[in-house]
């Protein structure tokens, strides 16, 4: 059965992105610090269709796993704007539903990636994404605000966080303004790593 998931790195002080995000400053410039565990993995570079990476270990397997289980994506417009200028063609190999007020025709890429621009809210995007996922999972890709909206709407089934052992001090927090009474959370899996701490949570709506 399709689950609604997200999968993000955060700093130890809880930041998902830095300040002053824009297409010319994706994630507020902190991605190299926050995602160092990912950039070391061959699996990551394979998925973004570039050469790179040094390792082929457990951290990389987690990257493969989340790609494999995901059948479609939902993202916010700011994340799309930051990615549009840099992402390789057919990066997602799936349908991507972008939450936006902008009216725009679907952007069909070579391969199997199509971006759909959804103007009538997250429930509507989720319905389309579930249909598209065909039994695989729907991944809420980001940014933080989009994930917060899905969390507070009670729509998330499971998430993975990767806690990077760094302080960022400022920026955009992943868990900001989360409804305290929406879910019971359960730790399903903890995977230690030299570079980060992977924790998988399952959410049961109260």
Q: Site residues (CB under 8 A) for its own copies?
A: 12-14, 163, 165-170, 173, 175-180, 182-183, 185-187, 190, 192, 194, 197, 199, 201
Residue with Cβ nearer its own copies (52 or 165): 165
Residue with Cβ nearer its own copies (48 or 175): 175
Residue with Cβ nearer its own copies (48 or 167): 167
Q: Which residues, listed in sequence order, are joined to residue 198 by a DSSP beta bridge? A: 162, 191
- CB atoms closer than 10 angstroms to residue 206: 9
Nearest approach in angstroms of CB 14 to its own copies is: 4
d(CA 176, CA 98): 21
Nearest approach in angstroms of CB 30 to its own copies is: 9
Rg, Å, the chain Cα set: 16
Residue 91 is encoded by which pair of tokens? 């990066």
Sequence-separated contacts (24+) of 87-95 with Cβ below 8 Å: 87/48, 88/48, 88/49, 88/50, 89/49, 89/113, 90/49, 91/47, 91/48, 91/49, 94/70, 94/132, 94/133, 95/128, 95/129, 95/132
Which of 177, 182, 166, 173 shows the shortest CA–CA distance to 35? 166
Residue with Cβ nearer its own copies (135 or 192): 192
Residue with Cβ nearer its own copies (77 or 182): 182
């Amino acid at each position: 059965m399709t689950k609604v998931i997200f999968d993000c790195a955060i700093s130890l002080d809880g930041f998902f992105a830095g300040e002053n995000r824009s297409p010319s400053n994706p994630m507020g410039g902190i991605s190299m610090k926050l995602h160092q565990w990912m950039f070391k993995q061959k699996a990551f570079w394979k998925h973004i269709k570039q050469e790179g990476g040094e390792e082929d270990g457990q951290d990389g397997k987690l990257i493969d796993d989340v790609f494999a289980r995901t059948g479609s994506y939902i993202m916010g417009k700011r994340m799309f704007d930051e990615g549009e200028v840099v992402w390789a063609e057919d990066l997602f190999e799936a349908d991507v539903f972008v939450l936006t007020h902008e009216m725009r025709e679907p952007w069909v890429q070579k391969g199997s990636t199509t971006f759909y621009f959804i103007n009538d809210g997250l429930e509507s995007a989720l319905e389309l994404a579930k249909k598209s996922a065909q039994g695989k999972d729907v991944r809420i890709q980001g940014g933080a605000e989009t994930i917060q909206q899905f969390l507070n709407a009670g729509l998330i089934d499971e998430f993975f966080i990767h806690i990077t052992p760094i302080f960022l001090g400022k920026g955009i927090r992943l868990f900001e303004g989360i409804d305290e009474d929406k879910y019971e959370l359960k730790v399903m899996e903890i995977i230690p790593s030299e570079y980060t701490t992977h924790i998988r949570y399952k959410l049961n709506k109260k």
